[in-house]
């Protein structure tokens, strides 16, 4: 197997996970209840209700993201919606962490860099921190991987994490995306040391320092106070 960068890996087998689609929906007899569906899944609205108002659908039968944590959340929400007068919307898929439990774990949430550039334009940037720069990873001897955070105008819109415990880190970033948080919010949130998530605070703080270095306010302060800082009068 030839990896990007020219590195070769010799292995006995290669698993290609190309995704899944709902299977055998026709066996549910949905036509008898007049519930609409396609080969990609049952059709529901933002509140997980099908075209038949008293029938809800959740989980893998919807197609799209197929994760236990998403299906569980949808199940609880649809039960609430079915029994209560107040109707709550389901989660936005961009806020749902997606994790593959390989070694190291691979987790994503929100937009990739290419998706963000295509959808959000030139305001997009990405911040990267390799695990070689993360003290917990060094202590554990697991320094293969990285944390990449995608930003748009300073707001967190996506992330990819390859590391031990990537799922936990992606969950925090999923919250950041759902609350429209900026890097500055993560930088000001104290993380325990030496945890893997401490790397998020470091990455966010470095982004804030870089912005501060370019700010007009700091340039003015340096002009006014620079001589005093260097022993002048």
Q: Would you say the pTM of this structure is higher than 0.75?
A: yes
Whether the ω angle into residue 194 lies within 30 degrees of 0, i.e. cis, is yes
H-run or E-run covering 163: strand 155-163
And the tokens for 47?
A: 């509140």
- Going by C-alpha positions, the residue among 70, 66, 71, 97 that lies closest to residue 170 is 97
| Tally of CB atoms within 10 A around 174 | 22
CA dist 76 and 73 (Å) reads 5
Give the torsion sign (CA, 36, 42, 46, 50): positive
Do 15 and 7 touch, CB atoms closer than 8 A? no
**Continuous H helices in the chain:** 68-83, 113-120, 135-140, 166-178, 183-188, 198-214, 216-229
pLDDT tens, position by position, for the chain (233 residues)? Answer: 666 667 788 888 888 877 778 888 888 999 999 999 998 999 999 999 999 999 999 999 999 889 999 999 999 999 999 998 778 998 888 899 999 998 999 999 999 999 999 999 888 999 999 999 999 999 999 999 999 999 998 899 999 999 999 999 999 999 999 999 999 999 999 999 999 999 999 999 998 888 877 777 777 777 777 655 555 55
Q: Cα 186 from chain centroid?
A: 14
Q: Which residue has the tokens 């990873």?
A: 137
Pairing of strands 124-130, 41-42: unpaired
């Amino acid at each position: 197997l030839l990896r990007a960068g020219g590195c070769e890996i010799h292995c006995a087998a290669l698993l290609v996970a190309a995704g899944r689609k709902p299977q055998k929906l026709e066996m549910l007899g949905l036509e008898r209840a007049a519930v609409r569906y396609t080969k990609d899944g049952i059709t529901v609205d933002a509140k997980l209700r099908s075209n038949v108002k008293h029938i809800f659908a959740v989980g893998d039968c919807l197609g799209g993201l197929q994760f236990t944590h998403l299906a569980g959340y949808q199940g609880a929400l649809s039960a609430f919606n079915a029994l209560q007068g107040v109707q709550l919307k389901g989660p936005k898929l961009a806020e749902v962490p997606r994790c593959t439990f390989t070694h190291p774990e691979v987790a994503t949430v929100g937009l990739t860099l290419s998706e963000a550039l295509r959808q959000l334009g030139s305001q997009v940037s990405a911040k990267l921190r390799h695990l070689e720069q993360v003290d917990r990873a060094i202590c554990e001897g697991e320094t293969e991987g990285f944390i990449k955070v995608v930003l748009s105008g300073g707001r967190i819109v996506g992330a990819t994490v390859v590391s031990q415990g990537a799922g936990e880190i992606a969950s925090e970033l999923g919250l950041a995306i759902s609350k429209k948080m900026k890097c500055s919010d993560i930088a000001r949130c104290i993380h325990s040391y030496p945890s893997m998530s401490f790397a998020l605070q470091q990455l966010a703080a470095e982004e804030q320092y870089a912005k501060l270095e370019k700010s007009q306010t700091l340039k003015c302060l340096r002009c006014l106070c620079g001589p005093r800082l260097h022993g002048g009068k």
